[in-house]
Amino acid sequence: MPSGVAVRRRKFLVVLGGAATWSFAARAQQPSKLRTIGFLGAATPSATGLWTAAFVQRVRELGWIEGRTVAIEYRWAEGRSQRFAEIADELVRLKVDVILTHSTEPTLAAKQATSVIPIVFANAGDPVGNALVASLARPGGNVTGLSIQGTDTVGKRLELLREAVPGLRRLAIMGNVSNSAVVTEMREVQDAARSLGLEITISEIRRVEDIAPAFQALTGGADAVYVGADSLAIVNRVRINTLALGARLPTMSSVRAYVEAGALMSYGANFPDLWRRAGDFVDKILRGTKPADIPVEQPTKFDLIINLKTAKSLGLTVPPTLLARADEVIE
């Protein structure tokens, strides 16, 4: 008959063996670390909510479900350009698998922060001219994405604005001149405006405190304002359009969000579509494709949005032919 000591020893070994078995099984069942997308947002969640939702929906369709098969680390600069580099560095420290961003300056900040982690820009102006990629067909390096062709459509915007604002002679061009992409856009607008015989006033802003004085300086000196697309402007879109309405100035831009905030009209690439397509880029990278091998793509959908409520407030009668061509009319 075994002694009490021997029985206790056998029980201990059984328990120990069971614990080891449970520990091994638990380790085997623990999910591996989720692949992680680092998101560098230039603006705010409210300003770009439709865009990010389109991206998340697309990657979900491709099998990347947030919290289950992929993690997304969201960071927002809230229109403060000094935050771009800080956020990019933070995402690099987190060792994310891919960085998703948008606009030229945040993408440049991400590119400066890492030459190893893949970077996808959902929309950026002139990616070759702004040194984001070597070429559209062969991006090279660790960066690729979707170009918004901002400078290619400015002439169309001015023609549409002239249709909506009869007698347009004097155009103010407002933009954040600390953003190289906006400077390029403003230059293109100047060239297009001159070809249409318009007088031009340049209104430079660099921070939120510059916006109100810029509109004060335009009083009586412009018939309309072209607003350059930029995170500073989009975060402050309500402020800009409130001041524009107060000064009786119709505004034109490339981004729908401005029109929702009270601008007269916008014409440009469909941003939710671009961000949805960015989901395909991220999917390819997470499955092993190198960014250098994914050509930069161009927009395929362009939208004309008109705010009829703003037109009425400004005493403008938008021609029925123009309204008929609009993709959306806000009333």
CATH code of the domain covering residue 174: 3.40.50.2300
Under 8 Å between Cβ of 226 and 189: yes
* Rounded Cα distance, 276 and 282, in Å: 10
Q: In terms of DSSP H, where are the helices of 121-230?
A: 154-164, 180-195, 211-218
Does 25 fall in a domain?
Answer: no
For residues 185 and 295, membership in a common domain is answered with: no
Distances 32 to 29, 37, 39, 97 between C-alpha atoms, Å: 9, 16, 21, 14
Q: What is the pTM of this model?
A: 0.84
Which structure tokens are listed for 79?
């229109």
For residues 183 and 310, membership in a common domain is answered with: yes
Does 263 fall in a domain?
Answer: yes
Range of the domain at 122: 35-149+270-301
What pLDDT shows up at residue 6? 47
Under 8 Å between Cβ of 266 and 255: yes
Candidates 92, 95, 67, 90; CA nearest to 77 is 90
Does 12 fall in a domain?
Answer: no
Maximum C-alpha span of the chain: 111
What pLDDT shows up at residue 29? 39
For residues 201 and 320, membership in a common domain is answered with: yes
What pLDDT shows up at residue 32? 62
Does 11 fall in a domain?
Answer: no
What pLDDT shows up at residue 152? 65
What pLDDT shows up at residue 57? 98
Residues near 315 by beta carbon (within 8 Å), at least 6 away in sequence: none
What is the number of structural domains in the chain?
A: 2
Beta bridge partners of 75: 40
Helix orientation angle between 271-286 and 49-61, rounded to the nearest 10 degrees: 40
For residues 156 and 247, membership in a common domain is answered with: yes
36 phi, psi to nearest 5 deg: -125, 130
Does 96 fall in a domain?
Answer: yes
For residues 241 and 308, membership in a common domain is answered with: yes
Query: pLDDT tens per residue, the chain (331 residues)?
Result: 445 544 444 444 444 444 344 334 433 333 468 999 999 999 999 889 999 999 999 999 999 999 999 999 999 999 998 999 999 999 999 999 999 999 999 999 999 999 999 999 999 988 998 899 999 999 999 999 999 865 568 999 999 999 999 999 999 999 999 988 899 899 999 999 999 999 999 999 999 999 999 999 998 899 999 999 899 999 999 999 999 999 999 999 999 999 999 999 999 999 999 999 999 999 999 999 999 999 999 999 999 999 999 999 999 999 999 999 999 999 9
For residues 142 and 218, membership in a common domain is answered with: no
Q: End-to-end alpha-carbon separation of the chain, Å?
A: 94
For residues 142 and 201, membership in a common domain is answered with: no
Beta bridge partners of 191: none
For residues 161 and 250, membership in a common domain is answered with: yes
Which structure tokens are listed for 151?
């400078």
Under 8 Å between Cβ of 184 and 151: yes
For residues 164 and 311, membership in a common domain is answered with: yes
Does 166 fall in a domain?
Answer: yes
For residues 167 and 115, membership in a common domain is answered with: no
For residues 117 and 243, membership in a common domain is answered with: no
**Tell me, what DSSP letter sits at residue 67?**
T
For residues 170 and 77, membership in a common domain is answered with: no
Identity at 163, one-letter amino acid code: E
